[in-house]
Amino acid sequence: MRPGWRSLRVLGGVLLGSGLLAPGATSGAAFPPSAPAVFQPVLASPDTLRPDTLTLDTLPVLGSRVSADMPLRTRSVELITRQQLERLPARSVSDALSWAAGVDLMPRSPAQADLSLRGAGFEQVLVLVDGVRMSDPQTGHFDLDLTVPLDRVERIEILKGPASALYGSDAVGGVVNVVTRSEPVWSGRLEGGSFGTSAVAGQGSLALPGNLRLHASGERSESDGHREGTDWETRMADAGLRAPVAGGTLSGEVGWARRAFGADGFYADFPSFETTRTRTATLRWRSDPGARVRVEPRVSWRRHEDDFILVRDDPELYRNRHASTQYGGELVVRARAHPRVSVAAGAEAYRHELASNALGGRSESRRAVFAEAAGLLPHEAELTVGLRHDDHDRWGGFTSPSLAASWAPTRGVRLRGSAGRSFRGPSWTERHYEDPAHQAEPELRPERSRSLEAGVRVDRIRDVGFDLTAFHRRSLDLIDWARPRGSDQETLWVTRNVIRATTRGLEVTGDWSPGLRTRVEVGGSVLSSAARGDEGFESKYALRPITDEVRLGVVRELPGLLSASIRVTRARRVGEASHLRLDARLEVPFMQGAVYLDGRNLSDSDHLDITGHPVAGRALYLGFRVGG
């Protein structure tokens, strides 16, 4: 019997024996290998609110710039709440994202990971923190080099599908927005486990004179790595100050992070080492949320530094140093034009600069204007219309329209559909990077995409709810690193525009609350991707999505005693065999906090990561969390 199945049987026996999982509640047999589904991988307690009924502070939900008091039901948006984050066996934002439906998280190590949504590559997903762009203009490999520890995160919002009409370039597959905590609570965390891994983290809030409030957090973690040459250490810290000013709220945030990690085989077959540093600063003012017209001006700055050594023991053989900076401002005005209609309009302007010994010294600017309107129509219908025009120094202007609508034909059932146009300009790395394994093409054209989506959501039928979504995306001039099929390791990866690429997919998520503080979540996805102009080439990143995935998640709580979160995943990537993975967390209350045991890859799957090496094997982590 394979080790993976032994782990499944052992854990199943423990759960059955302890009463955490009632016999017959779930069964792996319900998910045959050919099941054409995707399920809700975010595990929540039974009383977790659904995203289409949730009012988030006084700000718009990701996916609309209009209003939070008009629930967003026309687009596919998933939330990972604070309550969920405390139950997941996750220790970073990227870790937590791997539990979301339709998300393909491709980690090289806990220090760095690429993010994909619905088959869109890591360069085609936009990452925000509190609405501020964090995606890097040099390369999407750095998009998750955030300065926010997981303990500081209030929730993660995931908008699936095109969003250039809202956020401009890069939002082809979707947008991820990390929202930080604001409530006055303190918390701390200690953790240690497999591969010599250890972590200490804390966050909190402090009231100061003059109605000021200070928020701060920090984390330090390190590991020997799961294989030779993948050791890593991370340091993160951020702080913010909020104060009432001129009838609104003035807030400022600063952040810093450093990641140093063995990058053996990360980008090419070399024992490399890499160090990155990220610094951020944001200043914004928000008018009173009760005002009929609400104004939000914002300025932000982000600097990312990367020091890449091709051969770790011989730094001077080949070494790249890059420093990218982006800074600028944005103004958004929101108003309730009618009791059933809300509108938003705004403009933004940003400057991008690069200093690099490999890519040269470069600078570019971009500008944009945008508008959106959302309305509640008769017969339980809703409509959202958006329009944005971007202008860029390098590739000129691009207009992105969007249209989304929903309708509830009967109580508890809602149909939705949306269409949108999106684009992505090539990054500096895609245009100018060269090393012994890669050759960039300076004259790449921007990608252009058109997407359609249709879905149905059933809220509750005998404690069961589900959401079914079908989507279609056609891209022109898709940018990809590629080389002839069957090439040896000496053949260069070269950037190019693929004439046309089409992606189609189906996602279905479902949840069942059978009582006894138990929640079962199941689902799956199927995805197909075809490219014209791809004949005879192999793709390094853009055309290697997960084609089918089936997941099962269970949360069970025994008040005051024990809680358990379990997820089983079966998935297959283009060109690879399918794999089975089991992750779990067991937690017991202790003092003013909890002691938890995380099991990662308990099935000991040895499928390959994005570098072509086996993923980390079975691992256990013991931790203690205190505070809120």
Decide: 20 and 489 in contact? Cβ < 8 Å.
no
Q: Nearest 5°: CA angle at 124, between 122 and 126? A: 90
Q: Tell me which of 190 and 42 has the higher pLDDT.
A: 190
Q: Is the pLDDT of residue 18 over 90?
A: no
3-state SS, one letter per residue, for 410-451: ECCEEEEEEEEEEEECCCHHHHHCEECCEECCCCCCCEEEEE
Residue 611, CA distances (Å) to 89, 105, 145, 384, 540 in order: 23, 13, 18, 41, 10
Mean pLDDT of 74-98: 88
22-36, 167-181, 423-437: which has the minimum mean pLDDT? 22-36
Q: What is the DSSP letter of 339?
A: T
* Pairwise pLDDT comparison (610 vs 570), residue with the higher score: 570
- pLDDT given at position 31: 23
pLDDT per residue as tens digits for the range 395-417: 899 999 999 999 999 988 999 99
Dump strand ranges (E) for 98-138: 103-109, 112-117, 125-129, 132-133
pLDDT of 175 over the 70 cut = yes
List pLDDT tens digits, range 348-368. Answer: 999 999 999 989 999 999 999
Q: Average pLDDT for residues 502-508, to the nearest whole number?
A: 93
pLDDT beyond 80 at 625: yes
Mean pLDDT of all residues in 163-175: 90
Domains, the chain, in order of start with CATH, read 3-627 (2.40.170.20)
Structure confidence by residue, pLDDT tens digits, 558-599: 777 889 999 999 999 888 889 999 999 999 999 889 999 999
Q: Given this model, what pLDDT does residue 70 score?
A: 53
Beta bridge pairs of residue 103: 117
Per-residue model confidence (pLDDT) at position 61: 55
pLDDT value for 27: 29
Q: Which residue has the tokens 């509190």?
A: 130
pLDDT of residue 530: 85
110-158: pLDDT as tens digits: 888 999 999 888 899 999 999 999 999 999 889 999 999 999 999 999 9
Q: How far apart are CA 607 and CA 617, in angstroms?
A: 10
Position 599 scores a pLDDT of: 96
Q: Which of 437, 431, 426, 424 is nearest to 540 (CA)?
A: 437
Distance set, CA 105 to CA 115, 170, 173, 213, 610 (Å): 5, 17, 13, 35, 10
* Residues 174/161, Cβ–Cβ less than 8 Å: yes
Query: What SS3 class is residue 48?
Result: coil
Reported as a single tens digit per residue, the pLDDT across 290-307 is 788 999 999 999 999 999
pLDDT of res. 13? 40
Q: What is the pLDDT of residue 69?
A: 52
Residues in the chain: 628
The larger pLDDT score, comparing residue 77 to residue 133, is at 133
Average pLDDT over residues 265-287: 92
Q: Is 52 helix (H, G, I), strand (E, B) or coil?
A: helix
Q: What is the mean pLDDT of residues 91-96?
A: 91
Place of tokens 């129509």: 377
pLDDT computed for residue 523 by the predictor: 83
pLDDT over 80 at 605, yes or no: yes
Q: β-pairing, 103-109 with 76-81?
A: unpaired
Task: Give mean pLDDT, residues 18-39.
Answer: 29
Tokens 């508890």: give the residue: 412
pLDDT at 5: 36
What whole-number distance in Å separates Cα of residue 77 and Cα of residue 483?
36
Query: Of 38 and 288, which is predicted with more confidence?
Result: 288
pLDDT at 24 over 50: no
Residue 218 has pLDDT above 90, yes or no: yes
* pLDDT, tens digit, 9 for 90 and up, residues 460-496: 777 889 899 999 999 999 998 888 888 887 889 999 9
Among 68-82, 133-147, 239-253, 254-268, whose mean pLDDT is lowest?
68-82
Residue 10 confidence (pLDDT) above 90: no
Better-predicted residue by pLDDT, 102 or 406: 406
Query: pTM for the whole thing?
Result: 0.87
- pLDDT averaged over the chain? 85
Three-state SS sequence of 202-268: EEEEEEECCCEEEEEEEEEEEECCCCCCCCEEEEEEEEEEEEEECCEEEEEEEEEEEEEEEEECCCC
Q: Which residue has the tokens 């005002």?
A: 291
Say whether pLDDT at 84 is over 50.
yes
